[in-house]
């Protein structure tokens, strides 16, 4: 049988199946288009639900909770007498939008002290309602909310005579009021939220709905029960759990209509915000796109047949060149490169460029067998002809040591394969945080990580990385309490020697010096969930508004004649910096 060259194989293959790829491609494009349109519709629903949720959060936190906290803090001032505090409530309710009543409930007292907004009180009197009776929150409910730890009440009160919805915010006072324990509470008129939802532009093409934790519709007098709808049941399941995330799913209504829905969860209230749209409307463009693709596919069939011969010859030349380069690489020649077809702006050109990139990468990986860190890669790229010389240079760096607590006990109770799997599981999450904060993992040693941070704001990035590590471990540990694993972290900054250490055949690109040793000692002193930093690091992060630095008793460390000042770092709860914030 005569031998067919690659060129003739491509020619025969292209001519034989010229029609089939076009058909397959048309169907693939239709499917991709359908998926993209569906994805776009789902993304829009998620965006609308998320946007409404953020607006609810913003109104609550900025317009209501913030001013109430200021009033609560003023009431806690023991320099003010009872009359001054009552005057403060009267002035405060006149200046805060949507707050229709402020109430102080005294421990052991049956009747609370209540101040109402004049305009809202007149509305209630206009329909024959007593403002004090309507707006008063029963003391039993106040103390129940305080014991539960809730700062606000998601259970709504509806006033049908005025068509108003009210919510309750509860803020315990830290000082006494008239000699007794007291709680500040407020009644909030939710009309602004109702108008915000009703006026959303999405309501022109879809519908927005809010349901409470019992599945009843909010802002509708009928309070319809929506728990029978699949998407509502799914959202309420997440609402009842500790894990709340945006969700999107199609479901079928009782009348048989298929609807796309997305949901989100406002922070202040135990609600679910749902954005819904009929599937037929969302996917109407799919049918039009399908018809268009079929027409273009038919036209493309003729072009494909005519271009098959030319394509076969155009493809074969660069492929034969790539084959030659692959053979050279197989013989160990990593200096060879693909030349023919490299400028082509098509898949063959991409393949040629990637082949060259692969050859370069293989050469780098020969050197990477001696190194493990990101600093090693930088050293190789800076070196001449890919050869990294032994030796180091003095540089300022910040070292983060992270050690898993409880690892020894865990290893004794489990098989080695399980121990390795768990260790890799944690290292995967922790290493990702180091990379996010622009650090470099120098090495993994047993259950310990050494990460090095250099450059601008290295100390702050290292400390924030440590905080993120502790948060990640807390989250992972909450789902796996039987593992009983945590981490201790030590951070220090100073002059180190950084470079390639070892022999010409086996190197380790690392950092050495007293500053490294001190970071390791701090890590050894750190307890479960604790972050200890040196005085040098403390001086660099002291001005960070999102960090709380607490001095601890000086400790004696190995290799140090005098006790070493030690500081503990934690995140300030009200500040949440980004991972790259300087």
pLDDT at 582: 45
| Nearest alpha-carbon partner for 262 in 51, 53, 55, 42 | 42
Higher pLDDT, 510 or 312: 510
The predicted-structure confidence for 228-287, as pLDDT tens digits, reads as follows 888 888 888 888 886 667 777 777 877 788 888 889 999 888 889 999 888 777 666 666
pLDDT at 370: 42
Among 432-446, 502-516, 554-568, the range scoring the smallest mean pLDDT is 502-516
Q: What are phi and psi of 335, to 5 degrees?
A: -90, -10
User: Domains along the chain?
Assistant: 6-36+286-366 (no CATH), 61-194 (3.30.450.20), 197-284 (3.30.450.20), 389-571 (3.30.70.1230)
Among 109-113, 243-247, 302-306, 406-410, the range scoring the smallest mean pLDDT is 302-306
Q: Which long-range contacts (CB under 8 A, 24 or more apart) does 293-297 make?
A: 293/26, 293/29, 293/30, 293/33, 294/26, 296/26, 297/22, 297/23, 297/25, 297/26
Higher pLDDT, 337 or 381: 337
pLDDT tier at 391, thresholds 50, 70, 90: low
Residue 551: pLDDT above 90? yes
Residue 201: pLDDT above 80? yes
Among 121-135, 189-203, 327-341, 561-575, the range scoring the smallest mean pLDDT is 327-341
Higher pLDDT, 145 or 232: 232
Mean pLDDT of 158-183: 86
Mean pLDDT of 512-535: 91
Among 52-56, 366-370, 478-482, the range scoring the smallest mean pLDDT is 366-370
What CA–CA distance (Å, rounded) separates 68 from 66? Answer: 5
| Nearest alpha-carbon partner for 214 in 190, 241, 233 | 233
**Secondary structure element (H or E) that encloses residue 296, with its range:** helix 284-330
Mean pLDDT of 291-312: 66
Q: What are phi and psi of 543, to 5 degrees?
A: -85, 0
238 Cβ partners below 8 Å, 6+ apart?
244, 245, 247, 265
What CA–CA distance (Å, rounded) separates 522 from 558? Answer: 10
Whether the CB-CB separation of 342 and 349 falls below 8 Å is answered with: yes
Q: Look up residue 538 and give its two tokens.
A: 């403390």
Residue 397: pLDDT above 70? yes
Residue 320: pLDDT above 80? no
pLDDT at 90: 85
Task: Report the mean per-residue pLDDT for the chain.
Answer: 81
Residue 541: pLDDT above 60? yes
Residue 165: pLDDT above 80? yes
The predicted-structure confidence for 39-64, as pLDDT tens digits, reads as follows 788 888 889 999 999 999 999 888 88
Its pTM stands at 0.47
């Amino acid at each position: 049988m005569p031998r067919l060259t690659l060129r003739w194989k491509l020619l025969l293959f292209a001519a034989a199946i010229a029609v089939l790829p076009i058909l397959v491609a048309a169907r693939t494009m239709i499917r991709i288009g359908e998926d993209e349109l569906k994805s776009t519709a789902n993304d829009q629903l998620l965006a609308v639900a998320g946007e409404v949720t953020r607006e609810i959060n913003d109104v609550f936190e900025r317009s209501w909770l913030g001013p109430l906290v200021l009033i609560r803090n003023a009431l806690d001032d023991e320099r003010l007498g009872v009359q001054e505090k009552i005057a403060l409530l009267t002035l405060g309710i006149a200046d805060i939008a949507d707050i229709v009543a402020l109430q102080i409930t005294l421990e052991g007292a049956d009747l609370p002290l209540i101040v109402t907004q004049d305009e809202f009180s007149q509305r209630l009197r206009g329909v024959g309602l007593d403002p004090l009776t309507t707006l008063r929150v029963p003391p039993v409910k106040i103390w129940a909310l305080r014991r539960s730890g809730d700062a606000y009440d998601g259970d709504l009160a509806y006033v049908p005579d005025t068509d108003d919805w009210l919510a309750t915010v509860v803020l315990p006072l830290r000082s006494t009021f008239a000699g007794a324990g007291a709680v500040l509470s407020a009644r909030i008129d939710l009309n602004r939220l109702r108008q915000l939802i009703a006026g959303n532009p999405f309501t022109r093409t879809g519908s927005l709905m809010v349901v409470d934790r019992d599945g009843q519709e909010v802002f509708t007098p009928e309070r319809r029960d929506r728990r029978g709808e699949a998407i509502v049941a799914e959202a309420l399941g997440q609402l009842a759990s500790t894990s709340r995330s945006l969700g999107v799913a199609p479901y079928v209504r009782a009348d048989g209509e298929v609807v796309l829905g997305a949901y989100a969860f406002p922070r202040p209230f135990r609600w679910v915000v749902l954005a819904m749209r009929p599937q037929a409307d969302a996917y109407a463009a799919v049918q039009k796109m399908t018809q268009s693709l079929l027409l273009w596919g038919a036209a493309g069939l003729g072009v494909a047949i005519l271009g098959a011969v030319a394509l076969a010859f155009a493809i074969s030349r660069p492929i034969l060149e790539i084959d030659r380069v692959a053979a050279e690489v197989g013989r160990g020649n990593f200096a060879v490169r693909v030349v023919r077809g490299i400028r082509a702006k098509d898949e063959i050109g991409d393949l040629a460029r990637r082949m060259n990139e692969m050859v370069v990468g293989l050469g780098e990986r020969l050197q990477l067998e001696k190194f493990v860190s990101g600093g090693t890669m930088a050293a190789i790229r800076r070196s001449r002809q890919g050869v990294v010389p032994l030796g180091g240079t003095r540089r300022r760096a910040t070292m983060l040591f992270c050690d898993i607590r409880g690892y020894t006990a865990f290893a004794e109770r489990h098989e080695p394969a399980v121990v390795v799997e768990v260790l890799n599981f944690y290292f995967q999450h922790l290493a990702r945080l180091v990379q996010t904060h622009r650090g470099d993992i120098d090495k993994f040693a047993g259950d310990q990580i050494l990460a090095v941070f250099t450059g601008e704001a290295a100390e702050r990035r290292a400390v924030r990385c440590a905080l993120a590590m502790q948060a990640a471990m807390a989250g992972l540990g909450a789902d796996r309490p039987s593992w009983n694993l945590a981490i201790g972290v030590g951070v220090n900054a100073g002059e180190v020697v950084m470079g390639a250490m070892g022999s010409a055949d086996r190197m380790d690109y690392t950092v050495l010096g007293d500053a490294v040793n001190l970071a390791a000692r701090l890590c050894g002193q750190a307890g479960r969930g604790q972050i200890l930093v040196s005085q040098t690091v403390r001086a660099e992060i002291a001005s960070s508004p999102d960090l709380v630095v607490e001095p601890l008793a000086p400790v004696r460390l190995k290799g140090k004649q005098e006790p070493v000042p030690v500081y503990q770092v934690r995140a300030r709860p009200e500040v949440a910096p980004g991972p790259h914030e300087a």
